[in-house]
Amino acid sequence: MKGTPLTEQIFNYIVEHFAADEATLSEMMQKRAAEAGVPMIMISEEQAKFIGFFLKAIKARRVLDIGTLFGYSAAIMSKAIGAAGEVVTLEFDPLHAKVAHANFKHLGLENISLLQGPALDNMKTMQDGIFDFIMIDADKINYKHYLKESLRLIKDGGIIAGDNAFAFGKLLEHVPETDPDFISVNAVREFNETFASEKSMFSCVVPVGDGLVMGFVKKHK
């Protein structure tokens, strides 16, 4: 292969030197979530730093976070865009939403709006072209629907990102029907292909965390 595989030592080096604040925030939020019984399926620390870095670089103002969990990705985005911006985060599970609300309050993050309910239903109520950045990180089976709605909700020149492009490390593995991830892995495979061939996007995969697909959306020729 070309390039350097990301070993655990290199990952730790990156976190220590470049994502220490993101690691501290993750640890603090994880502790509060674990006490409430919320699963630890948030983005990784170096991925969080990349997303914060990227939002600052594009001067994002309004962002959509699909899949809140206990609020880590939303908190990272909230800090990156600052008080003048807005993060809208979508969560189906009432317990996750409750813990995320408590986390945002504890952290004093007032620029986050959490909408509880099926993400797709909430997305369908939103106006066209209002977000600078959209991050898809909820149920994989609905990724293709989130992408379709995201292409409507994103501004011209905005960015759509999807987490788990490497399908929990199973992207290129043989995954039998008995595997609990069978449906999700196949949904990610289909999503990646749709994403890569979408004509209105210039797309790439960034190998942070479990893989982040990103597309720059150009709505007009």
Judged by the rule CB under 6 A, the positions of this chain that interact with ligand SAM are 41-43, 67-69, 72-73, 90-93, 96, 118-119, 137-139, 142
State the minimum distance, in angstroms, from the CB of residue 115 to ligand SAM. Answer: 9
Q: Which two tokens stand for residue 177?
A: 């029907």
Contact 130, 62 (CB under 8 A): yes
Rounded Cα distance, 28 and 32, in Å:
7
Rounded Cα distance, 45 and 25, in Å:
9
How far are the Cα atoms of 114, 120, 214 from residue 153, in angstroms, in the given order? 17, 12, 15
State the minimum distance, in angstroms, from the CB of residue 50 to ligand SAM. Answer: 12
**Residue of minimal CB distance from ligand SAM?**
67
Strand (E) or helix (H) holding 170: none
DSSP state, residue 117 = S
- Closer residue to ligand SAM in complex, CB, 75/154: 75
- Closer residue to ligand SAM in complex, CB, 113/202: 113
State the minimum distance, in angstroms, from the CB of residue 184 to ligand SAM. Answer: 11
State the minimum distance, in angstroms, from the CB of residue 40 to ligand SAM. Answer: 10
Residues whose CB is less than 8 angstroms from the CB of residue 18 and which lie 6 or more positions away in sequence, other chains included: 46, 49
- Closer residue to ligand SAM in complex, CB, 68/150: 68
- Closer residue to ligand SAM in complex, CB, 146/195: 146
Total Cβ atoms within 10 A of residue 71: 31
- Closer residue to ligand SAM in complex, CB, 39/157: 39
State the minimum distance, in angstroms, from the CB of residue 1 to ligand SAM. Answer: 28
State the minimum distance, in angstroms, from the CB of residue 7 to ligand SAM. Answer: 23
210-221: b (≥16 Cβ within 10 Å) or e = bbbbbbebeeee
- Closer residue to ligand SAM in complex, CB, 21/139: 139
